Amino acid sequence: MVRFGVNAYINGHDHAMQHLSKDGVQYFGNGVGGFDLHPIDKKRMWPNDGEELRWASNSRHGFALHDVGPEGMRIRFAQVTESAEVAAPDDKGITSEVGYTIVYDTFVPFRHRSEYVRR
């Protein structure tokens, strides 16, 4: 990833929200959409081969919000605080409304081509 100038790697999985970094690449994992919640043992899981744990949580279900602009991207992790089913505005069905709280907010600037070396 470093070789090709990757700024961030975003993936989904089944059990936690995380932000790791290694060699200048930011890794974001989002996976708290529905799997059973459990504690994260940060001492046992990190560091792994030079990874730096920036943040991790698995205390509530949630999701990630990504805003991409010309200078970089903002990534926010949100935890669900409440949810309810309500009638859709056109009364043709049921829709869900979710209350959430932003629990982590970071910005990843884009690197310019001159900042990495292709081999």
| Average pLDDT of the segment spanning 6-28 | 85
Residue 3 located in a structural domain: no
Residue 41 located in a structural domain: yes
Residue 91's region, left for phi above 0, alpha for psi from -120 to 50, else beta, is: left
Cα–Cα separations (whole angstroms), residue 117 to 9, 25, 69, 109, 111: 18, 14, 24, 17, 11
User: Model pTM?
Assistant: 0.69
Q: Give the pLDDT of residue 67.
A: 94
Q: Give the pLDDT of residue 56.
A: 76
Residue 2 located in a structural domain: no
- Starting at the edge strand found earlier in the chain, the sheet holding 17-22 runs 8-12, 25-30, 17-22, 52-57
**Per the structure, how many domains does the chain have?**
1
Task: Decide if pLDDT at 75 tops 60.
Answer: yes
Residue 14 located in a structural domain: yes
105 is in which domain, residue-wise? Answer: 8-115
